[in-house]
Chains A and B, each alone.
Chain A
Amino acid sequence: MQPFSYVEPRSRAEALRLAQAYPEARFLAGGTTLVDLMKSGVVHPPMLIDVNRIGGLDEIEAAEGSLRLGALARMSDAASHEAVRTQAPGLSESLLFAASGQLRNMASLGGNLLQRTRCLYFRDRHFPCNKRAPGSGCGAIDGENRALAVLGTSAACIANYPGDFAIMLVALDGTVYLDGPAGERAVPAATFHRLPADTPHIETVLAPGEMITAISLPLGALSRQSRYLKVRDRSSYEYASVSVAAAADFAPDGTIRDARLALGGLAAKPWPVTEAALLLAGRRPDDPVAMGRLMDAAVDGARPRSGNAYKVPQARSAIRRAFATLARRSARSVA
């Protein structure tokens, strides 16, 4: 770890002032990504602004058809919150399937959105990596890329976003609230992360000095029938090779009124499949034609590399599986 100074503001305003004064400083929340990468020599901020003692940023509120999660709420607390579990079970699942009990107790929701890729070439500074050292090249494209992205990649980078919660947030039309030098703003979760293009080191729309303050999503029929399916080699404590965040509002006859879908593990950002609502409306999840079209749309443009072609059939199957589970759960709750 490189040396750094450490400041601990007690107010949001002071935190933002510090961040503006020291552009290379980083906010420290749970530390589960940042401290790890600092130890690996991948990032070396000269100052950490520990935001953990700022009041009012860790509240979880459900009211008026909306769920609002403070950026400093811990993953485990959000996953266990009664409103999250009952009103957005898929969101709870996306949190519970991530990392381990210890890490979920530490990691904040805001920090989780900013989780960095697990690409091995990014994490070992002896390899070239355009994300870590712009212009140095991409070691992964022709290297060990089994875990990496097949969608939205570029010639500069095939890293994938490793998180889970953000995938469900995108599926459920979530919003990310930011505060910074230019004031507060809200961005759709679906546009919060960026694809690599030729600037893979810029991963989100977060401006210098900005912080995430809260996350919200609408509560309703879709969130109540949401499901997060995570596929991985190991049964637990592993990143997704593919994950599916699915939500469907079923009519009493079992047909789908409205649906949402986003994919994880496949791209540098949560991958929204915006065609889901249109392709599934009025259909049943076991309709092979509709589901086939949805699976085609989901992986359209996929560009597998030497080691990750398996992700495409895995993603297709996972999509069908997730909606089938939702249908079963819906039928069970009707019964």
Chain B
Amino acid sequence: MVAPRPDTAFAVHDPLAAVTLRLTVNGAVTEVSVEPWTTLLDALRERIGLTGTKKGCDHGACGACTVLIDGRRVLSCLTLALSARDGAITTIEGLAAPDGTLHPMQRAFAEHDALQCGYCTPGQIMSAVAVLAEADAGRPSAATDPAHRVTGRAVLDEREIRERMSGNLCRCAAYQNIVAAVREVAEATDPSRP
């Protein structure tokens, strides 16, 4: 195989060899043994035992496996565990405070009955948390008028929330209550409001 060079910082030459990685998950550094083909989703679920992140399609079509890496929402089913080793990974298990106090988004989902079977819910909540951060960063969506100059937080009206949350399928179709939950947290945390 390829001889490592100084500018090749990392290589796994044996496709079937297990590699020990240090993944930072929910603030804790976890040693985990993976192969090159292990996805972050399977590493979390099968190797680390964090089964809150769900597998719905394994092909990037449903959003159930959504996690945050360095605060950005990504699909863990299409992320190789090896590629994720430098990032700070947040899963649904990492949202609540250490004393068990739920994250406001978790609480809002429960209060609004924004779930039925609950299987897509971890992905929905991770996505919703990121949606608020994206809005705070002034990021537009396909529902944003291109002529509108975003200053500060992007508006999160119903249509914006629905568009921004459309990467998370819910077969039970709890969408209406998901919108209500996200909207409530968005309004409660809007920095432009007194």
Per the bound structure, the CA–CA distance linking A221 and B60 in Å amounts to 37
A101 CA / B10 CA spacing, docked (Å): 29
Residues in A with CB closer than 8 Å to B147 are: 89, 329, 332-333
Cβ–Cβ < 8 Å partners of A79 in chain B: 139-140
Q: Given A31-B83, A100-B167, A101-B127, verify A18-B2 contact (CB < 8 Å).
A: yes
Contact B59 A36 (CB under 8 A): yes
CB < 8 Å neighbour of A102 from B2, B8, B127: B127
B139 in contact with A80 (CB, 8 Å):
yes
Interface residues of A in 184-210 (CB under 8 A from B): none
Instruction: Write the chain B residue with the least CB distance to A333.
Output: B147
Q: Tell me, in angstroms, the Cα distance from A100 to B13 when the chains sit together.
A: 33
User: Given A11-B7, A52-B83, A332-B147, are A6 and B12 neighbors across the interface (CB < 8 Å)?
Assistant: yes
Q: Check if B9 sits within 8 Å of A4, measured CB to CB.
A: no
B-contact 0/1 string along A86-103, CB 8 Å cutoff: 000110110011011111
Contact A6:B2 (CB < 8 A) given known A39-B59, A40-B59, A79-B140: no
A308 an interface residue at 8 Å Cβ cutoff?
Answer: no
Q: Which residues of B contact A4 (CB under 8 A)?
A: 15, 36-37
For A77, give the chain B residue with the smallest CB separation: B139
Number of A-B contacts (CB under 8 A): 143
- B141 near A: Cβ within 8 Å? yes
B6 to chain A, nearest CB (A): 9
How many Å from the CB of A78 to the closest CB on chain B? 11
Is B121 part of the contact surface with A, judged by Cβ < 8 Å?
Answer: no
Interface contact B74-A102, CB-CB below 8 Å:
yes
Known contacts A100-B166, A103-B75, A103-B167; decide if A5 and B7 are in contact (CB<8 Å): no
**How many angstroms from the CA of A236 to the CA of B169 in the assembled complex?**
11
Among A7, A236, A332, which residue has its beta carbon within 8 angstroms of that of B166?
A236
Q: State how many angstroms separate the Cβ of A117 from the closest Cβ of chain B.
A: 15
Nearest residue (CB) in A for B13 is A5
B167 close to A8 (CB less than 8 A)? no
Known contacts A79-B140, A101-B130: does B79 contact A31 (CB below 8 Å)?
yes
- Give the complex CA separation of A100 and B59 in angstroms: 13
Q: How far is the CA of A323 from the CA of B80 in the complex (A)?
A: 42
CA–CA, A106 and B144, complex, Å: 21
* B: interface residue count bin: 35 or more
The answer, yes or no, to whether B99 is at the interface (CB within 8 Å) is no
Selected contact of A8 from candidates B9, B37, B72, B141, CB within 8 Å: B9
CB distance from B116 to the nearest CB of A (A): 20
B80: which A residues are within 8 A, CB to CB?
6, 28, 31, 35, 48, 50
B142 within 8 Å of A (CB atoms)? yes
- Contact between B11 and A5, CB atoms less than 8 A apart: yes
| CA A63 to CA B72, docked complex, whole Å | 28
The reply to whether the CB of A76 lies closer than 8 angstroms to some CB of chain B is: yes
With A7-B2, A99-B167 already in contact, the answer to whether A14 and B7 are too (CB < 8 A) is yes
Whether, in the assembled complex, B96 has its beta carbon less than 8 Å from a beta carbon of chain A, the answer is: no
Is the Cβ of B36 less than 8 Å from the Cβ of A3? yes
**Chain B 64-83, CB within 8 Å of chain A: the 1/0 string?**
00100000111100111011
Q: Mark B137-149, 1 if CB is under 8 A from A, else 0.
A: 1111110101100
Within A102-135, which residues are at the interface with B (CB < 8 Å)? 102-103, 105-106
| A-B residue pairs in contact (CB < 8 Å), sample of 9 | A2-B37, A4-B36, A8-B9, A8-B10, A8-B11, A18-B8, A28-B80, A32-B60, A106-B75
Does B157 have its Cβ within 8 Å of any Cβ on chain A?
no
CB–CB B82/A105 < 8 A: no
Which residues of chain B are within 8 angstroms of A101 by Cβ–Cβ distance?
73, 127, 130-131, 134, 141, 164, 167
Q: Would A89 and B139 count as touching, CB distance under 8 A? A: no
Name which of A8, A90, A97, A99 has the most chain B CB atoms within 10 A of its CB.
A8
- Given the known inter-chain contacts A31-B79, A36-B59, A50-B82, please indicate yes or no for A96 contacting B141, CB distance below 8 A: yes
With A96-B142, A101-B127, A102-B167: A9-B14 Cβ-Cβ less than 8 Å = no
Give the residue name and chain of the A residue nearest to B159 (CB): A235
**Chain B contacts with A in 1-39, Cβ cutoff 8 A:** 1-2, 5, 7-16, 35-37, 39
Q: Which residues of B contact A53 (CB under 8 A)?
A: 9, 86
Q: Is B163 an interface residue (CB 8 A)?
A: yes
CA separation between A48 and B93, bound complex, in Å?
31
Contact at A9–B73, with CB atoms within 8 Å? no
